[in-house]
Chains A and B, each alone.
Chain A
Amino acid sequence: MDFSLSEEQAMLADSISRFIDTDYDFDTRQKIAASNGGFSPEMWRTFAELGWTAVPFAESDGGLDGGPVELMLMMEQFGRGLVVEPFLANIVLAGGVLRRIANAEQKARWLAPLIAGDLQAAFAVVEPQSRFDVANTASIAEASGDGYRLNGAKSVVLNGGAADLLVVPARTSGSQVDQGGITLFAIPAETLGVTRTSYTTVDGLQAAEIVLADVTVSKDAVLGEIDNAFATIAAVIDEATLAVSAEALGIMQTMHDRTVEYSKSRVQFGVPIGSFQALQHRMVDSLMACEQSRSLLYWCVMLYLSDDPRYRSAISALKYQVGTAGVKVAEEAVQIHGGMGVTWELDIAHYLKRMTAINIMFGNADYHLDRYVAAGDAQAG
């Protein structure tokens, strides 16, 4: 067992950390989030030039062969910087599907420009009724001529408005909640029959509602095997869960640090509020919550690296932990900042909003606790 980072890994974390400090301060972030489109194409270009968009992909695909350690390090920094650029949507979600099951031709068409930063993509997996169950797919793809015709609705699709490419699961057989019978499609967003309604999300990101009405695609749009997409979808969502958990840790740690700092400078009753034990104990609790979350995060990453079958339930343990502890740390940070904590002007409020969104994404604490129990892995420890 070894918790240390390789030299390259440490350098990656360090370079993103420095970037956040010098080029992505809170004011810059707020301007980008409020701008038309909600993210900065120039910033995205920089991400690509710095090689960050290539990290998780295989060298043979033009990537840098990064794994879960690299993903964790990046996402933690993105959390710290409240980064709104669509890394999760493009690289972890859509890219995660493409890298796993796209064929050579599809990779050349979609993955290469994605890595180069020239293409925006989205993974349209959530449906109005599905909540956190990714098997629950009511969108239908029927064979039609040489290809397929899709009908259905997709909800809260991250980066769905800006996306050139939509990666869309649809049912080719089975009933609505079956794991079997789902197929993945790569659909250019401009295809006839695709209607998108974009909006900002409460955490300053971008998403869209998408309606598919008789969207016709050729056979070439099918990613991977017909009817057999569930395992891929689940693997990608698990990885995205790991990613946002690392992001959550970056948020928690930042909120906690900022709160301790604030409590030393804010004076009431003639003393810094940090001198009140009622607050001290809670900040100690927050510190422990951060450390406990970090421990589960490392555990998950190590299980992933060793291909351990406990990985899936470990992901649930982690998401449960960051969901509950993360929201608690965030709410405490706001509370200890007093009125300042609920102002738009201060970053603290925006960290709470992102933390709230992360708690929901890919399953909230209750969902993952259920999934952990169902995995029957409670004894595996």
Chain B
Amino acid sequence: MNIDLTKEELAFRDEVREFLATDYPQDIRRKQDEAIELSRDDMIRWQKTLYRRGWFAVNWPVEYGGTGWTAVQKYIFANELAAANTPAVIPFGVKMVAPIIYTFGSDEQKQRFLPDILDSTTWWCQGYSEPGSGSDLASLKTRADRDGNHYVVNGTKTWTTLGQYADWIFCLVRTSSDVARRQEGISFILIDMQTKGVTVNPIITIEGDHEVNEVHFDNVRVPVENLVGEEGKGWTYGKVLLQHERTNIAGVANSQYRLRKLKQSAAEPMRGTKALLDNDAFRRKIARLEIELKALEYTELRTLASVQVGQSPGPESSFLKIRGTELQQAMDALLVEAAGYYALPYVPAQYELDFPEGERIGRGTETISSLRYFNNRKASIYGGSNEIQKNIIAKHVLGL
């Protein structure tokens, strides 16, 4: 056991820092630091920046454009990016559908889809959940009926994150109901969002933003070559994806970044008033969160290390998801607490570009704290709710 980074690892860290110093676009950096919402173009521009350096598809096999990094390199990379407050990569293409395609897809599908994901030419969204099928995903009802060389898709997907921007959606659909286990009738297909019969309706979430959608399929004709792998195997593929999703979801480095920022701002006294950090209860809350994050950081490292030696991220990935989202939400709540009354004004216009500084209400980004806290209540719900994760651990780890 040894905690130190090797000389090579330190050199790698410097390389990442240098890249961030020179290539992280200034305007996007500014938006991130001022909590200004990124446009679709901003997100793509950042992803393309990573792609040009060869650092976008961190986890892919090298043959498809991945990095071939060690677990420690991935850890260093994630930490440096978080410390620079870079935008989160949109996971649906690079982290979710791509692994399914390169693991289970045909050569034709790999050629057709992976390069466009790699350079962010296409934007993907995830069509799993339905109004009646959330936690119990296997009960999904969206049908894909074979008609010659096409599937005819009918049904409704919901909670589709950023579907309003998407070119493609990957879906779990029912191709047969004549099976012993309902999971066996589910297939994994790729649907072009431009196809006739696809409609996207916004769902406004608690903080007032348009981030999720309902996607309706009305006799949508999808070529059979858009089926990934075998008909009826979609559930198995989807499960693999969910485990990937869960290891990506902890966000420890980002929580640590936010905690460091909070410690800095809470240390500043205000006009004749003691700094918040002088409050014992508040200081202890920060310390508790710091300790919990350190524990999770090392849990994540241990998971990464075991993935490195060939083990697949098993049910342990549920652990990262639960703790990671709990700590994110604790961080969200602490920022609200730090903002005090300034968590109350609902002033989204302050988070648009070139808002006149003199008219700002609250210090810095205080007034966005509550919106982020509300928005991120989703973290313990999506990607398989934390209750479902605990069920998985109880069953598959504890054998109950």
Report whether B377 and A342 are in contact in the complex, using a CB–CB cutoff of 8 Å. Answer: yes
Name the residue on A nearest B385 (C-beta).
Answer: A338
| Residue B136 lies at the interface, judged by CB distance under 8 Å to chain A | yes
Majority DSSP secondary structure for residues of A touching B: mixed
Instruction: List residues 327-378 of chain A with CB under 8 A from any CB of chain B.
Output: 327, 331, 334-335, 338-339, 341-345, 349, 352-353, 356-357, 360-361, 364, 366, 369-370
- Name the one of B342, B375, B387 contacting A279, with C-beta atoms under 8 angstroms: B387
Q: How far is the CA of A270 from the CA of B139 in the complex (A)?
A: 9
Chain B nearest CB from A111 CB (Å) reads 27
| Residue A197 lies at the interface, judged by CB distance under 8 Å to chain B | yes
Tell me which residues across on chain B come within 8 A of A200, comparing CB atoms.
Answer: 345-346
Q: How far is the CA of A200 from the CA of B208 in the complex (A)?
A: 13
| Residue A156 lies at the interface, judged by CB distance under 8 Å to chain B | yes
Tell me which residues across on chain B come within 8 A of A366, comparing CB atoms.
Answer: 279, 281-282, 337
Max chain B CB contacts within 10 Å: which of A177, A338, A357?
Answer: A338
Tell me which residues across on chain A come within 8 A of B343, comparing CB atoms.
Answer: 202, 356-357, 360
Report whether B347 and A199 are in contact in the complex, using a CB–CB cutoff of 8 Å. Answer: yes
| Residue A131 lies at the interface, judged by CB distance under 8 Å to chain B | yes
- Name the one of A136, A207, A269, A334 contacting B344, with C-beta atoms under 8 angstroms: A207
| Residue A62 lies at the interface, judged by CB distance under 8 Å to chain B | no
Report whether B337 and A202 are in contact in the complex, using a CB–CB cutoff of 8 Å. Answer: no
Name the residue on A nearest B138 (C-beta).
Answer: A269
Question: B268-285 vs A: 1/0 string, CB under 8 Å?
Answer: 001111001001011000
Report whether A138 and B271 are in contact in the complex, using a CB–CB cutoff of 8 Å. Answer: yes
Chain A nearest CB from B366 CB (Å) reads 11
Instruction: List residues 9-35 of chain A with CB under 8 A from any CB of chain B.
Output: none
| B interface residues, tally (CB under 8 Å) | 52
Q: How far is the CA of A133 from the CA of B279 in the complex (A)?
A: 13
Q: Decide yes or no: A352 and B377 within 8 Å by CB, A136-B273, A269-B136, A370-B281 being known contacts.
A: yes
| Residue B103 lies at the interface, judged by CB distance under 8 Å to chain A | no
Instruction: List residues 96-132 of chain A with CB under 8 A from any CB of chain B.
Output: 126, 128-132
| Residue B65 lies at the interface, judged by CB distance under 8 Å to chain A | no
Q: Decide yes or no: A201 and B346 within 8 Å by CB, A138-B272, A345-B204 being known contacts.
A: yes
Instruction: List residues 124-161 of chain A with CB under 8 A from any CB of chain B.
Output: 126, 128-133, 136, 138, 155-156
- Name the one of A156, A209, A269, A339 contacting B129, with C-beta atoms under 8 angstroms: A339
**Knowing that A129-B272, A202-B343 are A-B contacts, what are 14 other residue pairs whose CB atoms are under 8 Å apart, sorted by A's residue number?**
A129-B270, A175-B272, A176-B272, A177-B272, A202-B374, A268-B135, A334-B377, A339-B129, A339-B134, A344-B208, A352-B206, A366-B281, A370-B279, A370-B281
List the interface of chain A (C-beta within 8 A of B): 126, 128-133, 136, 138, 155-156, 175-177, 197, 199-203, 207, 209, 267-270, 273, 276, 278-279, 327, 331, 334-335, 338-339, 341-345, 349, 352-353, 356-357, 360-361, 364, 366, 369-370
Q: Lowest 7 A-B CB distances belong to which pairs?
A: A349-B206, A268-B136, A344-B204, A129-B270, A176-B272, A156-B341, A129-B271
What are 13 contact pairs spanning A and B, CB under 8 A?
A129-B270, A131-B340, A197-B361, A207-B345, A269-B139, A270-B139, A331-B377, A344-B205, A352-B374, A357-B343, A360-B341, A360-B344, A366-B279
